[in-house]
């Protein structure tokens, strides 16, 4: 009986060993699948050890050591894997590497690949490399059908110039287009770009902007919601009322579209352009603007409007074209002078002053504003004209004015009676912004109406002299002092000589005078017979050549 039991036990042990050998098989240096010919299936090309255990995982082969798979043109490498041959898929672990030609290299700690859908899911320490970029993340899915990879747990894209970070993104290997969403930041030694959504071409190094975006570099702060930006050249095309802030925030350009070329320091604005100079309290508007950062020069044209608001009431000046010119010292590192020039059909309006001229120049060197070619200036009931008028400013208020060539001062008492003074030139001096007195020099002619204590005209005085001085009180002619030999006649009001009421050069140009800020855009020039006779007394001084700023 004892022998029979021992024999039975030995038989059962042998049977169990046989069954176990059928359920768990290890193969060392096994013959691997032949070179694949069917591109639909995943093929195992190499593994140091193949193990199958129907109890642990009846659907998978366990592969260990130098595992290599191939699916058509893609090779996949890892240290170990579970191969689901019937499902045409596998899980790969440790030192995972995927290669497809010379265009795609993908690395990670683990990988699942489905050969039926051709979808890869790579996790932990993921790195995707293309010819021009590297993408780092912890979770990446990649669809081989479309060449589209996407991450959803934060990622970083690196290329030769920039580092791009976002929470979610996708990359198309066929087009080299990457899309980044949520908390997007692109950094470069020359700039920082922040936005919520960005499309980036890694081959062209061009970012396509589709939502509110800020680009900041050492020279500018750009705000835009649509456009494109090249990370190599830092050039940008900006649309949808974009803004470029420069000069430590002192200057701002806004336009329907802006072209920014950083390499040559040029900014061009198109459509409803507004340039704000906050330091000097001057705005310039137009349909086209050009700004050169290297020499701090600018051109604005197309319904150009300059608004100066340093004195409370804004001064509105229109010209066909405005040009800003900056002059530097010999070293090119210090500003010597700035000029703002207005060309062709200048018209200006401020409640207390209006002007028209062919052209104008404001220079910072002596804080002067010069009006050229038949300029006219109005101040309430007063009008001044000449061949050229120069205003010298002090803290944004007029200090004194110089009227050169065929100077004429007119003050309207009523629509019939006008105080008039004509001469070769005039020098008018101001106190607190109000005219104090005027020196009239050379070939002086005058017609004026003295007033009594009740401000009633008591007569008409006509005078001819070499020089005289007119004193004003409350903006009205108070007295006239003749400083040389003169001829004059005083007519009582009832005996006025009608032929002597108006000087030969007299004209009251109410028709030309701007009536409000909008009216500066509508040119009304002098008639031919009203224009000043040509004179050789006014000659323009040639302007110095521009010297570019040394930015090194």
pTM above 0.85, yes or no: no
> Is residue 100 assigned to a domain?
yes
Closest CA to 88 of 114, 62, 118: 114
SS3 9: helix
Partners of residue 426 on adjacent β-strands: 403, 440
Where does the pLDDT of residue 172 fall: very low under 50, low under 70, confident under 90, or very high at 90 and above?
confident
pLDDT confidence of residue 199: 94
Please report which helix (H) or strand (E) contains residue 3, including its range: helix 2-23
Mean pLDDT of the chain: 86
Question: Among 109-118, 333-342, 478-487, which stretch is predicted with the lowest mean pLDDT?
Answer: 478-487
pLDDT at 14: 41
Q: What is the pLDDT of residue 538?
A: 55
Host domain of residue 81: 23-129
Per-residue model confidence (pLDDT) at position 333: 83
Q: Could you tell me if residue 57 is inside a domain?
A: yes
CA distance 431 to 433: 5
In a domain, 403, yes or no: no
Q: pLDDT over 90 for what percent of the chain?
A: 54
Residue 465: half-sphere exposure toward Cβ, Cα within 13 Å: 22
Please say if the pLDDT value at position 549 is more than 60: no
Whether the per-residue pLDDT at 23 is higher than 60: the answer is no
Model confidence at 88, in pLDDT bands (50, 70, 90)?
very high
pLDDT at position 398:
85
User: Is there a domain that residue 27 lies in?
Assistant: yes
Strands 168-172 and 148-151: antiparallel
Q: Indicate whether 542 pLDDT > 70.
A: no
Q: For 37-51, 75-89, 201-215, which range has the lowest pLDDT when averaged over its residues?
A: 37-51
The reported pLDDT for the residue numbered 6 is 44
Dist. CA 178–CA 192, nearest whole Å: 18
The domain spanning residue 100 has which CATH number? Answer: 2.60.450.10
pLDDT grade, residue 12 (50/70/90)?
very low
Going 408 to 409 to 415 to 416, the CA torsion angle's sign is negative
Going by the DSSP 8-state scheme, the letter that residue 513 receives in this structure is S
Q: How far apart are CA 327 and CA 323, in angstroms?
A: 13
Confidence of residue 174 (pLDDT cuts 50, 70, 90): confident
Residue 378 covered by a domain? no
Q: How many residues in the chain?
A: 552
pLDDT band at 34 (very low <50, low <70, confident <90, very high): low
**Residues 181-230 pLDDT 10s:** 999 999 988 889 999 999 998 888 899 999 999 999 887 899 999 999 99
Cβ within 8 Å of residue 4, ≥6 positions away: none
Asked if the structure places residue 98 within a domain, the reply is yes
Q: Is the pLDDT of residue 477 over 80?
A: no
Given a cut of 80, whether residue 453 has pLDDT beyond it is: no
Residue 322 belongs to some domain of the structure: no
Residue 311, in any domain of the structure: no
Name the domain count of the chain: 1
């Amino acid at each position: 009986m004892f022998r029979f039991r021992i024999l039975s036990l030995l038989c059962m042990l042998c049977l169990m060993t046989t069954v176990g050998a059928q359920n768990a098989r290890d193969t060392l240096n096994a013959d691997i699948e032949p070179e694949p010919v069917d591109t639909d299936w995943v093929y195992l090309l190499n593994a140091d050890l193949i193990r199958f255990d129907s109890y642990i995982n009846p659907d998978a082969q366990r592969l260990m050591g130098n595992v290599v798979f191939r699916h058509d043109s893609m090779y996949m490498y890892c240290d170990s894997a579970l191969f689901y041959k019937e499902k045409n898929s596998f899980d790969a672990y440790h030192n995972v590497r995927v290669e497809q030609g010379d265009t795609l290299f993908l690395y990670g700690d683990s990988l699942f690949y489905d050969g039926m859908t051709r979808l890869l899911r790579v996790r932990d320490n993921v790195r995707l490399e293309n010819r021009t970029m590297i993408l780092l993340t912890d979770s990446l899915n990649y669809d081989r059908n479309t060449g589209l990879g996407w991450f959803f747990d934060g990622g970083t894209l690196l290329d030769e110039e920039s580092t791009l970070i976002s929470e979610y993104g996708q990359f198309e290997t066929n087009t080299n287009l990457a899309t980044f969403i949520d908390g997007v930041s692109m950094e470069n030694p020359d700039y920082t770009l922040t936005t919520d959504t960005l499309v980036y071409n890694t081959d062209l190094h061009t970012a396509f902007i589709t939502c509110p975006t800020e680009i900041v570099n050492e020279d500018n702060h750009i705000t835009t919601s649509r456009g494109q930006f090249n990370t190599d050249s830092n050039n940008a095309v900006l649309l949808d009322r974009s803004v470029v802030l420069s000069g430590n925030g002192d200057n701002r350009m806004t336009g329907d579209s802006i072209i920014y070329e950083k390499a040559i320091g040029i900014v061009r604005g198109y459509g409803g352009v507004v340039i704000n100079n906050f330091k000097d309290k001057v705005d310039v508007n137009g349909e086209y603007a050009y700004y050169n950062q290297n020499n701090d020069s600018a051109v604005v044209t197309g319904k150009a409007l300059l608004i100066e608001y340093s004195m409370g009431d804004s001064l509105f000046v229109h010209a066909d074209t405005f040009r800003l010119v900056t002059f530097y010292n010999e070293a090119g590192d210090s500003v010597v002078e700035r000029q703002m020039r207005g060309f062709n059909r200048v018209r200006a309006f401020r409640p207390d002053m209006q002007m028209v001229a062919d052209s104008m120049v404001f220079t910072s060197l002596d804080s002067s504003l010069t009006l050229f070619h038949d300029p006219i200036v109005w101040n309430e009931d007063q009008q001044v004209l000449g061949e050229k008028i120069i205003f010298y400013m002090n803290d944004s208020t007029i200090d004194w004015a110089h009227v050169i060539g065929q100077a004429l001062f007119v003050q309207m008492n009523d629509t019939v009676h006008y105080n008039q003074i004509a001469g070769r030139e005039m020098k008018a001096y101001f106190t607190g912004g109000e005219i104090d007195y005027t020196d009239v020099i050379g070939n002086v002619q005058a017609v004026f109406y003295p007033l009594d204590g009740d401000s009633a005209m008591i007569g008409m005085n006509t005078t001819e002299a070499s020089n005289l001085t007119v004193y004003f009180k409350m903006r009205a002619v108070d007295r006239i002092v003749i400083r040389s030999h003169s001829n004059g006649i005083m007519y009582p009001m009832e005996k006025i000589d009608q032929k002597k009421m108006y000087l030969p050069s007299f004209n009251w140009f109410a028709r030309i005078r701007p009536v409000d800020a909008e009216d500066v855009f509508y040119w009304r020039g002098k008639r031919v017979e009203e224009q000043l006779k040509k004179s050789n007394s006014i000659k323009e001084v040639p302007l110095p050549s521009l010297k570019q700023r040394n930015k090194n």
